[in-house]
Amino acid sequence: EHGVDAADVNMHSPQDCLDTLRHHMAGATESQELAIALAMLVELLRSVEEQGRDLADVLPSLVMRFGIARDTFLELAKLRTARGLSQRILEACDLAEAPVPAIHAVTSPRTLAKRDPWVNMLRATTQCFAAILGGAEAITCLPYDSVPGPASELGRRVARNTQLILDEECHLGDVADAGGGAYALENYTRLLAEQAWEGFQEIEKLGGYSAVTASGWLADWLQQSHGERRERIRKRKMPIT
C-alpha cells in the first residue's frame, strides 16, 4: 500500500531474483549492470541444468532487479536492452519460447540527496516514468526522505501516489514499448546492447559471475566506474537533477 524504505526493496528471494541493485549502488554504469545481469542469468541457467531441473520450469519465476537513475531516456533504454539481451541468451539455450525474466525497477537510492530532500520527489517521478515506459513489471518508488531515513508517513504516501498518478492518470502503462521506433532511444538501446555484451563476454572469459566476484575483479571494475562518476559530479560535469 505504501512506498518503502531502501532497506525494504527485497521483494523476491535470492533464488528467483537476479539483483543488480547492489552493483548499481557500488557505482556500476548502465552497461555494467546489464553485463552483470546477463552473467548472473547464464550462471543460474547452468546451475539449474547441472541439477537436472527443467529450465522452462524455472524461467517464469525469475526476476531481474535494476536501479533506475537520473538519466530518463538512458534508463528507459536500459530496461529495453535487458529484455532484448535476455531473449538472446534464452535463444542460445534453445529456450526461444520461454518468457524472459520479469523486471523489478527501484528508484535509485544513490540519486537521493540529503540536502533539500523535496527535490527527490522530482527525481523519483522521472525515474518511475522511465521504469514504466521501459516496461518494468514491478516498480518500487523510494520515499523522498528515506535518506538518511526512516521515511515519514508523508514520504511513503507521496511515493505510493507518484506511481498511481503516472499509471492511472497519465496512462503511461497503456502503450507497449512506447519508445519503440524513436531514433534516440533505439540508438541508446543499440549502444547499450553492444557495450553490455562486451562486458558480459569479458566476465565469461574470466570464469563467470561467481569467479569474478570471488577474485575481486568485479569490485575493481565497479570501483573504477564509481570513481569516475564521483569525479564528474564533483566537477559538475554530471548533474544530479
pLDDT interval class at 8 (50, 70, 90): very low
CA 74 to chain CA centroid, nearest Å: 11
Instruction: Provide the pLDDT for residue 149.
Output: 77
Question: What are the tens digits of pLDDT across the range 110-129?
Answer: 999 888 899 999 999 999 99
* Cα-Cα-Cα-Cα dihedral sign, residues 31, 37, 38, 43: positive
Using pLDDT thresholds of 50, 70 and 90, give the confidence band for residue 177: confident
Task: State residue 35's pLDDT score.
Answer: 98
pLDDT in tens, 57-114: 888 899 999 999 999 999 999 999 999 999 999 999 888 888 999 999 999 999 998 8
- Rounded (5°) CA angle 164-166-169: 80
Place of cell 516514468: 129
Whole-model pTM: value is: 0.90
**Average pLDDT score over residue span 170-193:** 91
Rounded percentage of the chain residues whose pLDDT exceeds 90:
70
pLDDT reading at 11 higher than 70: no
Picking from 128, 91, 78, the residue whose alpha carbon sits closest to that of residue 108 is 128
For residue 144, the model assigns a pLDDT of 95
Note the pLDDT of residue 185.
92
> What pLDDT does 158 receive?
97
Contacts of 25 (CB under 8 A, 6+ apart): 67, 109, 110
| The pLDDT value given to residue 241 | 67
**pLDDT given at position 15:** 58
Strands 17-19 and 63-68: parallel
Per-residue pLDDT tens over the stretch 22-66: 999 999 999 999 999 999 999 999 999 898 888 888 888 999 999
